[in-house]
Amino acid sequence: MVEQNQMDSFVAWAKRRGVIWPSSEIYGGLSNSYDYGPVGVEMKNRLKAAWWNTMVRQRDDIVGIDSPIILNPKVWEASGHTENFTDPLVEDTVTHKRYRQDQLEDPSKSPDGNPVSEPKNFNLMFKTFIGPVEEDQAVAFLRGETCQGIFINFKNILDTSRQKIPFGVAQIGKSFRNEITPGNLTFRTREFEQMEMEFIVREEDADKWFDYWVEQRLQWYVDLGIEKKNLRLVKHPKKALAHYSKATTDIEYQFPWGWGELEGIANRGNYDLTQHQKFSGKEMAVFDEETKEKYIPWVIEPAGGVDRSLLALLVDAWKNFEKGRKGEGEEETVLAVKSGLAAYDAAVLPLIKKEPLQKMANTLVKKLRAEGKNVFYDESGSIGRRYRRQDEIGTPICYTVDFESLDGKTKGTVTARDRDTMKQIRIKLGEV
């Protein structure tokens, strides 16, 4: 777990090990914009796959879709985003710095202690233009949430998927918000990825499904290996609810800088489908076989952020030992993530960069890759340093092909070294 005073070391580690680094760096960067490096992208893909697996593949009652970032601008009128997707913005009357009023400790004063202006509503939607001729260009928006792509496809899903209420529709993808106060690494950026699922239910079942999803989603973070004591549920007071929401509970994580939202579970009522029916003129109601009546169903939405979940996972699993794990050597860092979420499943290391060790190591790499494992091959540098490099990126196990692999009773075996215990055992190549 990263402590408050370790943030600089954590950020330096993330850069050094190819996890996360500032974007557009050679041009002086772009504020609050980050790239995922070779290790970061593998972990991010695995986190998304874990979500998709739990939410879609392991269930009969949820299907997935993938809709575009740019939708017909009417979607955002209907959803209320062009009008209501705003944050209250205030300005420090002395420094002219801007703040989100709802994030100030005292809503009448800036963090510098100066009085602030009256709040103005600032729309978070990113505008863009469609069409080659400037005069005719139509204004469009980059989506501020992925779920609207699901709502507008509600009827297509009913017609094509054989699902019946209650059922869910899931999507993972980029969203964009012109945030006033981005910050804390990837916690709040203007471009980010969401994992959202809209669970369509009858009104009378909404409370039951809301409670169900709060519990399921909290458990998902625990199953990722995040420490339970660093997670909590926070219910939104009625007056703080988003314009579409009847009830919201957030799952928060205790980041080094304080508690922050990972995911919100909202009861959206039938707000979105009703709005789309009104604005599109297309019917969103379904026929209830029992009551023989038509109704517009309700929606329970667990909406999480890929970047925030990954950040929580990294922060939670990161361990730094100033004098090494045995307390008497160089600084050591270990990323103790669950296997399956680390960038690599294993590393294969020939003890020295020579044949026949390399050949045997390559055979092992091929075997593991054929089994679908992501394997890191590294043949140069001292073996101790190579182990430490893998510990730092969380590789759960290293296989070393050494001289004992070649001769005598141990012929055909390799050393398997565990990241967390540093214990080494010999196992047969075929049993790896």
DSSP 172-188: EEEEE---SS-BTGGGB
Q: Does 236 bind ligand ATP (CB under 6 A)?
A: no
Q: Pick the binder of ligand ATP from 305, 350, 394, 396 (CB under 6 A).
A: 305
CB 308, min distance to ligand ATP, A: 4
Q: With CB under 6 A as the contact rule, which of the stretches 297-305, 321-329, 336-344, 350-358 interacts with ligand ATP?
A: 297-305
Q: Does 188 bind ligand ATP (CB under 6 A)?
A: yes
Alpha-helix residue ranges (DSSP H) falling in 94-191: 147-151, 154-161
Cis amide bond preceding 302, omega within 30 = no
Q: With CB under 6 A as the contact rule, which of the stretches 219-227, 299-307, 329-337, 376-384 interacts with ligand ATP?
A: 299-307
User: Helix, strand, or coil here: 312?
Assistant: helix
Beta bridge partners of 169: 63, 198
With CB atoms as reference, the residue minimizing the distance to ligand ATP is 305
- Helices 306-317 and 7-16: crossing angle in degrees, nearest 10, is 110
Q: Pick the binder of ligand ATP from 141, 151, 192, 221 (CB under 6 A).
A: 192
Q: Which is nearer to ligand ATP, 214 or 351 (CB)?
A: 214
Binding mask 166-185 for ligand ATP (x = CB under 6 A): -----------x-x------
CB 148, min distance to ligand ATP, A: 12
> What's the token pair of residue 427?
């196992």
Q: Per residue in 2-23, is it b (16+ CB within 10 Å) or e — as a string? A: beeebbebbbebbeebbbbbbb
Q: Which is nearer to ligand ATP, 144 or 396 (CB)?
A: 144
CB 179, min distance to ligand ATP, A: 5
Q: Pick the binder of ligand ATP from 91, 205, 261, 332 (CB under 6 A).
A: 261
| CA gap 382, 260 in Å, rounded | 41
Q: With CB under 6 A as the contact rule, which of the stretches 256-264, 334-342, 350-358, 403-411 interacts with ligand ATP?
A: 256-264
Residue whose C-alpha is closest to residue 318's, from 392, 228, 247, 370: 392
Q: Which is nearer to ligand ATP, 92 or 263 (CB)?
A: 263
CB 248, min distance to ligand ATP, A: 8
Q: Pick the binder of ligand ATP from 169, 303, 315, 375 (CB under 6 A).
A: 303
Q: With CB under 6 A as the contact rule, which of the stretches 14-22, 186-194, 272-280, 414-422 interacts with ligand ATP?
A: 186-194
Q: Does 301 bind ligand ATP (CB under 6 A)?
A: no
Q: Does 304 bind ligand ATP (CB under 6 A)?
A: yes
CB 303, min distance to ligand ATP, A: 4
| CA gap 73, 78 in Å, rounded | 9
> What's the token pair of residue 280?
């599109």
Q: Does 197 bind ligand ATP (CB under 6 A)?
A: no
- Helices 38-52 and 306-317: crossing angle in degrees, nearest 10, is 110
Q: Does 263 bind ligand ATP (CB under 6 A)?
A: yes
Contacting residues for 204 by C-beta, under 8 A, at least 6 apart: none
Residue whose C-alpha is closest to residue 168's, from 50, 266, 302, 305: 302
Q: Pick the binder of ligand ATP from 264, 302, 394, 396 (CB under 6 A).
A: 264
| Site residues (CB under 6 A) for ligand ATP, limited to 70-89 | none
Residue whose C-alpha is closest to residue 244's, from 78, 108, 430: 78
Beta bridge partners of 185: none
Q: Does 194 bind ligand ATP (CB under 6 A)?
A: yes
Q: Are strands 286-288 and 293-295 parallel, antiparallel or unpaired?
A: antiparallel
Sites of contact with ligand ATP (CB under 6 A)? 145, 177, 179, 188-189, 192, 194, 261-264, 303-305, 307-308
